[in-house]
Amino acid sequence: MEKMWTGRFSKQLDKNADDFNSSIHFDYKMYRQDICGSMAHAKMLGAQGIISEEDSKVIVEALKKILEDLDSGALKFDMNCEDIHMFVEQVLTERIGDVGKRLHTARSRNDQVALDIRMYLRDEAGTVVDLIKKLLSSIVKQADAHKSTIMPGYTHLQRAQPITFGQHMMAYAMMFLRDIDRIHDAVKRMNVSPIGCCALAGTTYNTDRVMEAKELGFDAIAENSMDGVSDRDFCIELMSACATIMMHLSRFSEEIILWSSWEFQFVELDDAYTTGSSIMPQKKNPDMAELVRGKTGRVYGDLMALLTTLKGIPLAYNKDMQEDKEAVFDSIETVQKCLEVFAPMVETMTINKENMYKAAQRGFINATDLADYLVKNGMPFRSAYKLVGQLVARCIAENTVLEDIPLEEYQKLSPLFHEDVYESIDLKNCVERRTSEGGTSPKSVEKQIKMVMERLKV
Ligand code: ARG
């Protein structure tokens, strides 16, 4: 098939070079955005008298039909085309002849592709936000059901202080809320229209870039034509937000994997989100969580790949930039797939309260509370800390716990100990009393849930 840019060439592109050069096998995904962009362009050309109103209408109608035919499958992509832009223009010209050839006035594929990616990613980013919201609602359901479920909280993966499972869940809710903010923020800068920047220098035609931008739902236009065609910051920002989402999902995955191990047995994943082993009949593997953790590397890689591609490119457009699409599409699709499977996996996960409580009982996680008890009765914190440390060491040597030390023994160490010491180190009380803002108490968890629910409404 003849290329659209054949004019100055005397022979055809080498077959391998042609395949190497073409991007239709991945940029076909932007067909809707490409066609909508072209419709807006044709309208603007007509309104400005650059082409006749009549031609403008014919082009818009034909583009509408192409979109319909692609949606319905009546029209198939021609994978021999160089890219989606060439494909659409080729079909248009086949269908309406010379009028179709007027569409590419006062634009270039350079501003066209920049426009298409921005529009495509804007839509995909919206899908990511919706998926994060679904995950948040699964997290909130677990948190609400377990706002009083006691478990050990860890630092250094050593049992530290008693917390509620609800509090642990809500920590993830906060991360995913920030992820939504990050995406919204990236979309803000993405939603700037490059169309009309043309090849790199703008155009001599009397175009109306603002009209075109408005028609396509952009908030502003790129203020410098060279920047307009060569800026891919919005891809980097979105990919960076994607990498952060994956980092959060990966940490969450790691905990779920750990918690569902035989050693922990804090949670059990639903059969629908686990797999068996081909040889070991007893196995129930958390494959989904492991895959999410694994795919995190891939999304980080996409970000690094594009950052590296962009770093040495002189202004303005260079073909290197065609490499943006596979990386950014892969990032966004991977994040979407991960979120799709993660939300129901979290929602259907069963929590083993008894095991969590058992684990909370034997790790001296109420030692801080015992020290705080002495402090409230007048002892300086450092002295209380030391005394409790010695008590813990003694308990370990005698294979006992703080709850089982008789009152007389306590009182031998300090007259500040009274009968109510046991109540002060009761795990339930330890948790319920942590009512400071953002603390682990069920009341505080409830407050966090309410805040997140409010955010989910908008
Ligand atoms: N397929 C190209 C890309 O994705 C479209 C822009 C091509 N522009 C050009 N001057 N060759 O970047």
Domain final residue, candidates 305, 331, 352: 352
- Are residues 136 and 454 in contact, defined by beta-carbon separation less than 8 angstroms? no
Could you report the per-residue pLDDT of 108-120, keeping only the tens digit for each? 999 999 999 999 9
Cα separation, 90 vs 101, in Å, equals: 9
Looking at the structure, tell me whether residues 335 and 420 fall in a common domain.
Answer: no
Residue 446 lies in a domain: no
What range does the domain containing 408 cover? 362-441
- Are residues 46 and 52 in contact, defined by beta-carbon separation less than 8 angstroms? yes
276 compared with 303, residue with greater pLDDT: 303
Of 85, 113, 315, best ligand 1 pocket probe by most atoms within 8 Å of the beta carbon: 113
How far, in Å, from the CA of 221 to the mean position of ligand 1?
A: 20
Looking at the structure, tell me whether residues 210 and 320 fall in a common domain.
Answer: yes
Looking at the structure, tell me whether residues 336 and 378 fall in a common domain.
Answer: no
Residue 130 lies in a domain: yes
How high is the mean pLDDT of the chain? 96
Residue 357 lies in a domain: no
Cα separation, 246 vs 132, in Å, equals: 11
- The CA distances from residue 124 to 32, 305, 321, 336, in Å, are 13, 20, 20, 9
pLDDT score, position 1: 67
Q: Provide the β-strand partners of residue 150.
A: 164
Whether the CB of 109 sits within 6 Å of ligand 1: yes
- Are residues 360 and 426 in contact, defined by beta-carbon separation less than 8 angstroms? no
Could you report the per-residue pLDDT of 350-376, keeping only the tens digit for each? 999 999 999 999 889 999 999 999 999
Please report which residue ranges of 73-108 form alpha helices under DSSP H: 84-96
Residue 6 lies in a domain: no
Give the chain's domain count: 3
Could you report the per-residue pLDDT of 236-285, keeping only the tens digit for each? 999 999 999 999 999 999 999 999 999 999 999 999 999 887 777 777 89
pLDDT score, position 351: 98
Q: What is the CATH number of the domain that holds 431?
A: 1.10.40.30
Domain final residue, candidates 352, 372, 398: 352
**DSSP 3-state of 312:** coil
Residue nearest to atom 7 of ligand 1 (CA): 109
Half-sphere exposure of 170 (CA within 13 A, CB side): 27
Could you report the per-residue pLDDT of 200-220, keeping only the tens digit for each? 999 999 999 999 999 999 999
Residue 377 lies in a domain: yes
For the CA of 317, the closest atom of ligand 1 is 10
Cα separation, 417 vs 50, in Å, equals: 90
At CB < 8 A and 24+ separation, what contacts does 99-105 make?
99/55, 99/58, 99/59, 100/59, 100/62, 102/45, 102/51, 102/55, 102/59, 103/38, 103/41, 103/42, 103/45, 103/59, 105/45, 105/50, 105/51, 105/205
